[in-house]
Amino acid sequence: MYGDKSCNSVFNTIRIPTSRFLSTNTSRVVSKLGDSAAEQLSSLCSKGHIKEAFESFKSEIWSNPSLFSHLLQACIPRKSLSLGKQLHSLIITSGCSADKFVSNHLLNFYSKVGDLGVALTLFGHLPRRNIMSCNILINGYVQKGDLESAQKVFNEMPERNVATWNALVTGLTQFQFNEEGLGLFSEMHELGFLPDEFTLGSVLRGCAGLRALHAGRQVHTYVMKCRFEFNLVVGSSLAHMYMKSGSLEEGERVIKSLPIRNVVAWNTLIAGKAQNGHSEAVLDQYNIMKIAGFRPDKVTFVSVISSCSELATLGQGQQIHAEAIKAGASTVDAVISSLISMYSRCGCLEDSLKAFKESVGGDVVLRSSMISAYGFHGRVEEAIQLFEEMEQEELEANDVTFLSLLYACSHCGLKEKGIEFFNSMVEKYGLKPRVEHYTCVVDLLGRSGRLEEAESMIRSMPVKADAIIWKTLLSACKIHKNANIAKRISEEVIRRDPQDSASYVLLSNIHASARRWQDVSEVRKAMRDRKVKKEPGISWLEIKNQVHQFCIGDKSHPQSKELDMYLQELTSELKLHGYVPDTGSVLHDMDNEEKEYNLAHHSEKLAIAFALMNTPEGVPVRVMKNLRVCIDCHVAIKYISLIKNREIIVRDASRFHHFKNGKCSCGDYW
């Protein structure tokens, strides 16, 4: 839930009640001063000029010590614990430390700056506690992640208000105890408390976390009864709930119905489109947002840069990176992490490394992102070295770090090292592997030929197997041409995802390699009966900010004829240097000439040929493909990189392949 940055922006809004209550009461105190003096005191404090404010209004503060509340409030954004303690001493000297209003501000200060120990001591010595005192303490515990203590204070309160319920509901949903949060909301309603915008925002976040569309719609009905549907906080939370639950259209309708939008509403819409895979629409909304006069913030940039990553549009990614720098968002860890991923997925590993090195500190998230980038490009040694540096600096690796390491090992076939990392994750770090971690280990075992061991791991693992892990094993069966195990594994894949064409194609190819034509026929019949269509191989590349897409048999490109002629010349040149088309990999009933033509016109070869025709000599070629690169193309691209003296970088559905001087970074392990 916290990976979703649009959630964080709304939760920051939801945490307002305590400070809102305090600031409202403070304004009443300030009104006792002259208007001019009150404005000056407030202005100095809001700008962080705390000492100047105290010196300028010392006599007024001593005559009315309640004004210390302004100074304490100003210390919170600065996390100025030492200055707050000095003010605490002055409050004691003034003799107003027993005042509920001032005491609550002191309690709020210590709670907000994270010194919960002092806050607890102060709470224990309060001569007169009220609801607000308890609410502040609950918020302090929530801020520390100590929900058990927050619940204890809540349970012991003789009296509560809406802010009390909000504090705990928000805490529960914030730490993904979503069912408990919804249960508390239901209890609150039954006891007759009317929710406000903050309650509803938190509850909707809980529904989003559970992807509970039905419950979310029920809350939506309640929102309309309470007449909060046009409230920005509630509206944005509603839209996020729908989008996170897979109903993008309903979420868009909510955003469009808002009479006004703020940056949070725009971010919710952009993040929703990104989460649902509408990457091009994300870029469109981003441009519309700017035209409408809104300034993107760090939350916006995370979603937009991530969409550039999915599209692998380097030019647009670089442009948005420049805009993030201008907006002052490029130093935010979440944005840096997105930049590392974007440059990596666009084939620019050096730019990923540059973004990482320019970051200050390099926390676990950033290092995990860089390890992932290394792994995606087959640079397993650098990935392992970065992990070892983390251990030396005693940075606590998380499950994402280990997933990146396992993927790097899987990429390069380091079976023993990968299993060592998996065991360390469980035994040394006490982390519970997710299905994605098991998938990497299955890939390692399967590719090394230990198919039965890999199958046994899937069937005995404590997490539920998905279609992807079974498909990973099915791919290994193809590598080792084991049709018998493949048939059994394919049943598991198809049962979980009967409309996934890749599984049928894999099984068909395995049977075809074994010359089991009757089985091939049965697989194809099953596809026809279930109306499953084979996903076409598509490759694309970006030249001068324009994306060009290619597919075998597609003649729609304006340079189609020239491209066909160039490919014929290129294939002849490759043959002169020793390339032999792998016609055995074309599993269709056609003569050798047709098979060679088919191989020559694979989408990645079309894209590479187009790049060679339209880019200057020496410029690296970057191509993306939606499916795995076939064996023949892998061999052919090695020859092309040698003959044309070009670095060719291909991102397929699994990983990156860096071709240079007739070699590939992954060797023959792909």
Please, what is the Cα angle at 579 between 573 and 585, to 5 degrees?
Answer: 125
**CA 584 from centroid of its chain's CA atoms:** 41
What confidence score (pLDDT) does residue 37 get? 66
- Mean pLDDT across 143-170: 92
What confidence score (pLDDT) does residue 5 get? 35
What confidence score (pLDDT) does residue 354 get? 94
Report phi then psi at 549, rounded to 5: -120, 140
- Judge contact between 571 and 600, C-beta under 8 A: yes
- Tell me the two tokens of residue 267: 């971010």
- Answer whether residue 534 shows pLDDT above 60: yes
Higher per-residue confidence, 140 vs 59: 140
CA 233 – CA 229 distance, rounded (Å): 9
pLDDT tens digits, one per residue of 563-608: 999 999 999 999 999 998 876 655 554 555 666 677 778 899 999 9
DSSP 561: H
Measured CA to CA in angstroms, residue 609 lies from 108, 354, 538, 539, 615 at distances of: 65, 30, 14, 12, 10
Cβ burial of 148 (10 Å; 0-12, 13-18, 19+) is exposed
- Judge contact between 110 and 118, C-beta under 8 A: yes
Lowest mean pLDDT among 64-73, 462-471, 651-660: 64-73
What confidence score (pLDDT) does residue 615 get? 94
- Tell me the two tokens of residue 131: 């609801």
What confidence score (pLDDT) does residue 156 get? 92
**CA 617 from centroid of its chain's CA atoms:** 37
**CA 46 from centroid of its chain's CA atoms:** 34
- Mean pLDDT across 555-567: 89
What confidence score (pLDDT) does residue 606 get? 93
- Tell me the two tokens of residue 635: 């061999």
Under the banding of pLDDT at 50, 70 and 90, the label for residue 10 is: very low
pLDDT, averaged across the chain? 86
Higher per-residue confidence, 582 vs 399: 399
- Mean pLDDT across 81-101: 83
- Mean pLDDT across 204-222: 93
CA 10 – CA 16 distance, rounded (Å): 11
Most confident listed range (250-259, 361-370, 518-527): 250-259
Any long-range contacts for 550-554 (C-beta under 8 Å, 24+ apart)? Answer: 550/603, 550/606, 550/607, 550/610, 551/603, 551/606, 552/598, 552/601, 552/602, 552/603, 552/606, 553/601
- 10 Å Cβ neighbour count for 144? 13
Under the banding of pLDDT at 50, 70 and 90, the label for residue 343 is: very high
Higher per-residue confidence, 536 vs 649: 649
Which helix (H) or strand (E) segment holds residue 438: the answer is helix 435-447
- Tell me the two tokens of residue 224: 């309309």
What confidence score (pLDDT) does residue 101 get? 85
- Answer whether residue 14 shows pLDDT above 50: no
pLDDT tens digits, one per residue of 271-316: 999 999 899 999 999 999 999 999 999 999 999 999 999 888 888 9
Report phi then psi at 335, rounded to 5: -70, -45
Amino acid identity at 156: E
- Mean pLDDT across 507-524: 80
- Answer whether residue 628 shows pLDDT above 50: yes
Contacts of 453 (CB under 8 A, 6+ apart): 445
Q: By three-state DSSP, how is residue 202 classified?
A: helix
Q: Domains in the chain and their CATH numbers?
A: 261-360 (1.25.40), 454-535 (1.25.40), 538-664 (no CATH)
pLDDT tens digits, one per residue of 27-67: 444 444 455 666 777 778 788 787 887 888 777 777 777 77
- Mean pLDDT across 412-431: 93
Strand partners, 650: 623, 657
- Mean pLDDT across 542-562: 87
Nearest to 624 by CA among 593, 652, 605: 652
What confidence score (pLDDT) does residue 620 get? 93
Measured CA to CA in angstroms, residue 1 lies from 108, 206, 315, 576 at distances of: 27, 10, 30, 56
pLDDT tens digits, one per residue of 450-486: 999 999 999 999 999 999 999 999 989 888 888 889 8
- 10 Å Cβ neighbour count for 162? 16
CA 455 – CA 469 distance, rounded (Å): 10
- Answer whether residue 443 shows pLDDT above 90: yes
Amino acid identity at 568: Q
- Tell me the two tokens of residue 644: 């044309």
- Mean pLDDT across 3-19: 34
- Mean pLDDT across 88-112: 84
What confidence score (pLDDT) does residue 465 get? 93
- Tell me the two tokens of residue 638: 């090695």
Count of alpha carbons within 13 Å of 315, Cβ hemisphere only?
8
What confidence score (pLDDT) does residue 24 get? 42
What confidence score (pLDDT) does residue 595 get? 62
